[in-house]
Structure 1
Amino acid sequence: MATTQNTTSGSGSPRVAVVTGGSGGIGRVVAERLAADGMHVIIGYAGNAARAEEAVEAITQAGGTAAAVRADVADDDEVTALFDRTEELFGGIDVVVHTAGIMLLSPLAELDLADFDRMHRTNVRGTFVVSREAARRLRRGGALVNFSTSVTKLALPGYTAYAATKGAVDAMTMILAKELRGRDITVNAVAPGPTATPLFLQGKDQTTIDRLAAVPPLERLGRPEDIAETVSFLAGPARWINGQILYANGGAA
């Protein structure tokens, strides 16, 4: 039996989604996809207000509804304010997609601990803070989608510290799904493989890009739209998928 996208809340009004890191890269494409699915979208961003407003404008011009709110995902007060503002604008929250994160690459023996601490603050503490607020605010029938990485399985050299932070995301995701028993809220994580975003492509020569593109049996890099499609599924019709890490990597791992 075919599934259909769930675009309305229990009250019959459009569902409301918060997308952290929604001003660029995969996050922006996710925000645009959820808006196209019929959701009202709040774009959470860290610092680039102009880019966030561009994302809002793109959604609005396509017929959707969106607004931008600044928040440091690792700051408890700012995340609380982000959720408060969402409820003020749209009356509630049904979906939280936490795409915000940073990736600093280095062999373990050469990694500056300051870089490790930066990643830990954003990727681990940030996921904890956003997930905690989502657990407190999401309405029945809601969904939390965190972001992990396929590198936890691919075990690529240079990704040790980054993969370690995402391993923490996996643990939080699987346990929180069980802690929300009885709430009718799903908690999952998407684990992209190599995906053709400006951040991923930056600093890589064509030989490296071609080598990574050849890893999946589908023989290409992922596209942000591939990841957004996966998020759309978890945020809407996928009510029987819960507590899972969903690898969106074309079969690379």
Structure 2
Amino acid sequence: MTSDSPRVTLITGSSRGIGSVLALKLAAKGEHVVVNYKKNAELAEDVVRQVREAGGGGIAVQADIEEPDDIDALFEAIRTEYGRLDAFVANAAAAAFKPVSGLKLHHLDRSWAMNVRSFVLGAQRAVDLMDENGGRIVAVTSYGSLRAFPTYASLGAAKAGVEAYVKFMAAEFGPRNITVNAVNGGLIDTDSLEYFYERVPGMAPMNSVIEKVPLGHPGTADDMASAVEFLLGSGAGYITGQTITVDGGLTVVAPPFWADTSGELRAAVYDD
């Protein structure tokens, strides 16, 4: 990459939420963004439109990152369009919110494929597209990797696995001037937060958790995107193998607790 060449960044799951906010931040710097989406082409194309209006460039590429063939096709599209990649942000995630005793084989398989396997396969392919100037890899993780929250075992364990891979990748890719880091989010005000606290039966009320956050409020997609943007930038060139936690102090106090749940969900742990 020459000094006058716009940087090219792939952000998985970037048709909405944190990924789309990050895409616009990078676009404001004149960079190119590959907007990956699974289903909603219209939403992804709208993000690309906004990216271009903000001064950047980009393309939308459909790929289900649970599928290795789709991952291959995603990176081939990048190779065809740009011939290289400067940064890879693993942002897409999914899992079942159930007690460990309720996890079925397909829940375990999907959590691994969606969150861990896709990150490893994506990083392998991203590194192959990075030139002699190196690059950046950032994984978006979440608070369940640090604390045992109700129904979060499947996703939390997967994100802990991703954070472990971050360390190994940092050691292996460092000689190629590629940094690898993670941004771990707490209560972030996105669609996922609403789903977790309002659609998981018996979950502790969201406000009962928010009031325990030291900063007193949930974070925003912009808070997360800003942390990722920092790790992608030149100011973070000597930071690698690290996880930055963006949670307002949530994991210092660590709610919600199983004791805060109710109904059948509480009964999964407590024999009241």
Deviation string, structure 1 residues 33-84 (Cα, Å, up to 9, x no partner) = 2212331101011122111112112222233212101112233332222222
What runs of 5+ residues in structure 2 fail to find an aligned partner? 252-272
8 Å CA contact 1:17–1:41 kept in 2: the answer is yes
1:227 matched to 2:224? The reply is yes
1:200 matched to 2:190? The reply is no
- Answer with 196-205 or 95-104: which moved more: 196-205
Amino acid at match of 1:86: I
Deviation string, structure 1 residues 206-251 (Cα, Å, up to 9, x no partner) = 9722123223311111100000000100011211110111111122
**SS of equivalent to 1:12:** coil
Amino acid at match of 2:197: K
Question: Which residue, out of 158, 182, 186, partners 1:189?
Answer: 182
**SS of equivalent to 2:142:** coil
Deviation at 1:203, TM superposition (A): 5.8
Where do 4+ consecutive residues of structure 1 move more than 4 Å? none
* Matched ranges for 1:48-127 at <5 A: 48-127=40-119
Question: Which residue, out of 145, 163, 166, partners 1:170?
Answer: 163
- Per the alignment, residue 152 of structure 1 pairs with 145
Q: Judging changes above 3 Å, is the alpha-carbon distance between structure 1 residues 90 and 119 closer, same or farther for their aligned structure 2 residues?
A: same
**SS of equivalent to 1:180:** helix
Amino acid at match of 1:216: V
Amino acid at match of 1:111: L
* Matched ranges for 1:10-21 at <5 A: 10-21=2-13
Instruction: Please give the root-mean-square deviation of Cα atoms over the aligned residues, in Å.
Output: 1.8
Deviation at 1:204, TM superposition (A): 2.8
Deviation at 1:10, TM superposition (A): 3.3
Residues in 1 aligned to 2:95 and 2:219: alpha-carbon distance in whole angstroms: 17
- Per the alignment, residue 134 of structure 2 pairs with 141
Amino acid at match of 2:250: A
Residues in 1 aligned to 2:107 and 2:67: alpha-carbon distance in whole angstroms: 18
Deviation at 1:121, TM superposition (A): 1.3
8 Å CA contact 1:187–1:242 kept in 2: the answer is yes
Percent of pairs with identical residues:
35
Residues in 1 aligned to 2:212 and 2:128: alpha-carbon distance in whole angstroms: 40
**SS of equivalent to 2:250:** coil
Residues in 2 aligned to 1:230 and 1:24: alpha-carbon distance in whole angstroms: 17
Residues in 2 aligned to 1:178 and 1:33: alpha-carbon distance in whole angstroms: 28
- Per the alignment, residue 212 of structure 2 pairs with 215
- Answer with 227-236 or 131-140: which moved more: 131-140
Deviation at 1:90, TM superposition (A): 2.7
What runs of 5+ residues in structure 1 fail to find an aligned partner? 1-8
8 Å CA contact 2:139–2:182 kept in 1: the answer is yes
**SS of equivalent to 2:156:** helix
- Per the alignment, residue 248 of structure 2 pairs with 250
Residues in 2 aligned to 1:38 and 1:185: alpha-carbon distance in whole angstroms: 22
- Per the alignment, residue 5 of structure 1 pairs with none
Amino acid at match of 1:250: G
Residues in 2 aligned to 1:229 and 1:15: alpha-carbon distance in whole angstroms: 17
Amino acid at match of 2:195: Q
8 Å CA contact 2:95–2:107 kept in 1: the answer is no
8 Å CA contact 1:190–1:245 kept in 2: the answer is yes
Residues in 2 aligned to 1:217 and 1:29: alpha-carbon distance in whole angstroms: 25
- Per the alignment, residue 33 of structure 1 pairs with 25
8 Å CA contact 1:46–1:72 kept in 2: the answer is yes
Q: Judging changes above 3 Å, is the alpha-carbon distance between structure 1 residues 109 and 76 closer, same or farther for their aligned structure 2 residues?
A: closer
